[in-house]
Amino acid sequence: MNEFIVSARKYRPSTFISVIGQQSITATLKNAIKNNQMAHAYLFCGPRGVGKTTCARIFAKTINCQNITADHEPCNECESCKAFNENRSYNIHELDAASNNSVDDIRTLIDQVRIPPQLGHYSVYIIDEVHMLSSSAFNAFLKTLEEPPKHAIFILATTEKHKILPTILSRCQIFDFNRIKIADISDHLLYVAKSEFVEIEEAGVNIIAHKADGAMRDALSIFDQIVSFSGKKVTYQDVISNLNVLDYDYYFKLTDNFLVNEIPEVLTTFNEILDNGFDGHHFITGLSSHFRDLLVCKDVSTIKLLEVGGEIQEKYKVQAVKCEHDFLLNGLELATQCDLNYKTSQNKRLLVELTLIKISQITQKKK
């Protein structure tokens, strides 16, 4: 039986060009290598799962590669690259600051920094979750961070930049990693699915990308979970069932009912949503998003802001034609007000039902 490797590890980028959604950062790092203008300390900031540690490892591998390619990527064939790929390189040292955050831990690291690398030119020290270091540990680290040996490069990674001392920030080159775009996550998931011989509907991929909230690692973890649930053929219905996501069809159906003032049908549909185990707050925020998506479809120049797959995008375009601007703006205002009042309401179901009735009466007032 073959050992299972989670997709986030199996498809982890090994070259700069394979990093998803951080082109400006990878280009800057490659140019630094090309021009031999590498700093001695870097700070990689950004949300979880966007490639901070991955970029740090690729950078460490590239600067020690014995045969860097013409476009300044690691060759993955020399002894140094092979050692990195097989996790046996002595040139890369990773420290988890969450569990090694004392002064003694940093002093041990400082003693280690003095030893030059046996193979390659640089020793790279990656300190993850660096904001977890204690104040005394930060202070013990300052002098070494400012004037390290020529062979040492520090890469600090954090999800909470605001917790890091200004004295540390001033000694580092700072790179801010972005959340990865939904389109980029979707494209990568389709590539992974094809590589794993998994058939998955595009609408399902789009739901996973939305649920990941800009984190590629989260997207790949969700993908693995759904493949375990569904097997090698994954439908849109499988995805929304497994992730407990409300089907787009409910919102399209409700909007059609709003436009013809079908209050009984609207309340029945909402009751069905509650019976399926969905929370009223989750529903009302989804309705706000639906009205927003219909609004951006009203103008050709803003359709690109709609982050859904092809088939569902067509549904949005068709329904947007039926809806007037005033209806969508008033509906969005009512849904947003309901969202704001939801937590403090004593009768949450009644609050949502009253909001749905008011939205249903928007077009009625014009008659």
Rounded to an integer, what distance in angstroms lies between the CA atom of residue 34 and that of residue 274? 58
Is it the case that residue 90 has pLDDT exceeding 60?
Answer: yes
In whole angstroms, how far apart are CA 39 and each of 74, 146, 154? Answer: 19, 11, 9
Rounded to an integer, what distance in angstroms lies between the CA atom of residue 340 and that of residue 203? 30
Q: Tell me what pLDDT residue 355 has.
A: 95
Mean pLDDT in residue range 201-208: 88
List pLDDT tens digits, range 27-66: 999 999 888 888 889 999 998 889 899 999 899 889 888 8
In whole angstroms, how far apart are CA 358 and each of 87, 240, 319? Answer: 61, 29, 20
Q: Which two tokens stand for residue 328?
A: 């969508």
Contact 355, 284 (CB under 8 A): yes
DSSP state of 297: T
- Higher-pLDDT residue of 126, 304: 126
Torsion angles phi and psi, residue 311, rounded to 5: -65, -45
Rounded to an integer, what distance in angstroms lies between the CA atom of residue 232 and that of residue 199? 6
Q: Tell me what pLDDT residue 105 has.
A: 83
pLDDT-derived band at 277 (thresholds 50, 70, 90) equals: confident
Q: Tell me what pLDDT residue 11 has.
A: 87
Element (H, E) at 153: strand 152-158
Rounded to an integer, what distance in angstroms lies between the CA atom of residue 67 and that of residue 63? 10
pLDDT-derived band at 177 (thresholds 50, 70, 90) equals: very high
CATH number for the region 182-243 comes to 1.10.8.60
Q: Tell me what pLDDT residue 1 has.
A: 46
Mean pLDDT in residue range 241-260: 89
Rounded to an integer, what distance in angstroms lies between the CA atom of residue 93 and that of residue 207? 37
List pLDDT tens digits, range 326-336: 999 999 999 99
Q: pTM to 2 decimals?
A: 0.81
Is it the case that residue 2 has pLDDT exceeding 70?
Answer: no
Mean pLDDT in residue range 105-120: 82
Edge-first strand order for the sheet with 152-158 is 92-96, 123-128, 152-158, 41-45, 173-176
SS3 271: helix
Q: Percentage of the chain with pLDDT > 70?
A: 98
Instruction: Tell me if the domain spanning 7-176 has CATH number 3.40.640.10.
Output: no
Is it the case that residue 365 has pLDDT exceeding 70?
Answer: no
Angle at 282 between CA 281 and CA 285, to 5 degrees: 85
Q: Tell me what pLDDT residue 356 has.
A: 95
- Higher-pLDDT residue of 284, 120: 284
Rounded to an integer, what distance in angstroms lies between the CA atom of residue 267 and that of residue 182? 33
Domain boundary assignment for the chain: 7-176, 182-243, 248-366
Torsion angles phi and psi, residue 86, rounded to 5: -100, 10
Find the range with the poorest average confidence among 131-140, 169-178, 316-325.
131-140
- How many helices and strands, by DSSP H and E, does the chain display? 17, 7
Name every residue whose Cβ is closer than 8 Å to that of residue 264 and which is 6 or more positions away in sequence: none
CATH number for the region 248-366 comes to 1.20.272.10
Is it the case that residue 366 has pLDDT exceeding 70?
Answer: no
In whole angstroms, how far apart are CA 264 and each of 78, 174, 194, 280, 281? Answer: 70, 56, 45, 18, 21
Element (H, E) at 274: helix 263-275
Mean pLDDT in residue range 245-272: 91
Rounded to an integer, what distance in angstroms lies between the CA atom of residue 41 and that of residue 126? 10
Q: Which two tokens stand for residue 258?
A: 């709003």
Torsion angles phi and psi, residue 298, rounded to 5: -75, -15
Q: Which two tokens stand for residue 148?
A: 């390290």
Is it the case that residue 307 has pLDDT exceeding 80?
Answer: no
SS3 125: strand
